[in-house]
Chain A
């Protein structure tokens, strides 16, 4: 039996099939975690935000105007959920959102740290698309369903992002021939 399309799953959800909602969540989880991670800069908080996104989606499903844009709609909820968490973190958290730990300050890890900082300094739209591209093997097609833009446009954004990253790395002294394009 062939796998249901997203649209068929959404129709099934509206027909009362809650398991199909679970399947939709599975399909969009990585993308939501990637979007949330690009905002929160913390993997665990990002997973929380993605799960929160699905909960909010349950409560707001009737607000979904265009089933074809389910991914875009979900991504918008995810950004809001992440920003809510970010606001709360900055108001109340005992500690700042954790950066992934650097084990030893070897050259490679230092390089990664600089790259992470550069990445975090990217404009939100570019940072988001970069996270989506490098997260858990997301396809351009999937990225397109959550950003609501064409695959060519995604490619263009990624290219722009990389250009900025290389420029910033150079500014920080990591000219690294290895990064130059």
Chain B
């Protein structure tokens, strides 16, 4: 009897009412899921290899991570647009076989995880990517999906949880080679020789050989399965964003990928949330805008501690912990700020090493006109461009440069 009493108490504490599953509502909430189930079914019935078929892993549905995921998609897109490309060298047979296989492949899928080194408080950002030849790319992170159609130079970002979409037009940007923004196309245009052979390593029970390709702005490591010649793992390190690196895993060639997955048509009933995006090349004014926004909207008049992406991420997390967020009245306004800030960072990423840029805005307050917060040498210019604490910009000769 006393056991019954405990049962009763436990039932009271635990059982908070009947749970009912509403399939209709679930389908509305996860419109991508049944599509993927369809792909799984096709593949299963065709008896294709099933190992590691994992279309995507969904990141959690927190408003902050949604925003972060969106930002990551944009940042990754921008980084890839600007830093993929270049030529190389090849060596072993494994490498050659994989290159050949990649050249013949028409589709691929992979998981892309963005890691932040030395930032323990930020979870890795995962996205599942499906690519199809002719520059189609679909990136999914939770309920956020971005679809890029390179031939049309257009993209759409869909937020399924809010039933909203944003259309992006890249027509004014350099998108001449798909290999510049698409890992699949990058694989398909791999050179005949790698810059470096790294030796053998076991990854998840697979024997692999490592290769490194060093390119302008980044270096890429490929670990290829010695038996299947599959790509077991790839790591991309961005020279201008130290501490941030992307890992490509679960890479599969020639998966089922229906054209409808790459449709730029917004889903029916979704509302447009198109934001005026400045699509011109990011420039100095964008950096100034970034510094102004950070000081004014984020950190009570103080400039960011660093312009290193990892350090900025750390600072953002610390501010979030302290309850500080971007001061904006609406989500749209917040997104506009975010996009503007992204352009400022893009400008930094675009600067060549010869620009010798230096940031010294840590602890400087907006308006401190005597303090230099940023300097760089524009291309083909003998002098410096200097940004001061009041965000004024001056051309300064080498000999007059403030010590």
Contacts and interface: CB of A to CB of B under 8 A. Distances in A.
A42 B230 CA distance: 42
A25 B16 contact: no
Interface in A51-66: 51-52, 54-56, 58-63
B33 A91 contact: no
Interface stretch (B17-25, B80-88, B264-272, B367-375): B17-25
A58 B33 contact: yes
A33 B22 CA distance: 13
Contacts of A84: 59-60, 123
B54 A91 contact: no
A106 interface: no
Interface string A26-58: 100110011001000001000110011011101
B44 interface: yes
A43 B18 CA distance: 11
Interface string A100-125: 10000000000110011001000000
A142 to B, nearest CB: 13
A85 B304 CA distance: 30
Contacts of B20: 29
A94 B58 CA distance: 21
B13 A47 contact: no
A119 B14 contact: yes
Contact of B5 (A15, A43, A48, A178): A178
B399 interface: no
A30 B34 CA distance: 21
A14 B2 contact: no
A165 interface: yes
B322 interface: no
B29 interface: yes
Contacts of A30: 19
Given A33-B19, A92-B320, A14 B41 contact: yes
Chain B contact residues: over half helix, strand or loop, or mixed?
helix
B13 to A, nearest CB: 5
Contacts, number: 152
Contact of B44 (A52, A62, A134): A62
Contacts of B9: 111-112, 115, 179
Interface stretch (A16-24, A68-76, A143-151): A16-24
Chain A contact residues: over half helix, strand or loop, or mixed?
helix
Nearest to A52: B58
Given A52-B58, A54-B33, A62-B53, A135 B3 contact: no
| Size category of the binding interface on chain A | 35 or more
Contact of A135 (B2, B14, B54, B123): B14
A130 B128 CA distance: 36
A81 B142 CA distance: 12
B320 to A, nearest CB: 7
B61 interface: yes
Contact of B18 (A112, A119, A136): A136
B118 to A, nearest CB: 16
B60 A119 contact: no
Nearest to A91: B121
A79 interface: no
B298 interface: no
B351 interface: no
A135 B61 CA distance: 24
Given A58-B40, A92-B62, A162 B33 contact: no
Contact of B6 (A54, A112, A165): A165
Given A91-B122, A179-B6, A136 B15 contact: yes
Given A59-B55, A91-B122, A13 B41 contact: yes
A87 interface: yes
Interface of B: 2-3, 5-7, 9-21, 23, 26, 29-30, 32-34, 36-38, 40-41, 43-45, 50, 52-62, 64-65, 121-123, 128, 317, 320
A-B complex: 5 closest residue pairs judged by Cβ atoms: A22-B23, A29-B21, A58-B33, A58-B37, A55-B33
Given A59-B58, A112-B9, 8 more contacts: A18-B34, A22-B23, A48-B61, A54-B26, A63-B50, A81-B60, A88-B62, A88-B64
17 contacts: A13-B37, A15-B41, A18-B34, A29-B20, A30-B19, A52-B58, A58-B36, A58-B40, A59-B54, A59-B55, A62-B50, A63-B50, A84-B59, A88-B65, A115-B9, A134-B10, A134-B11
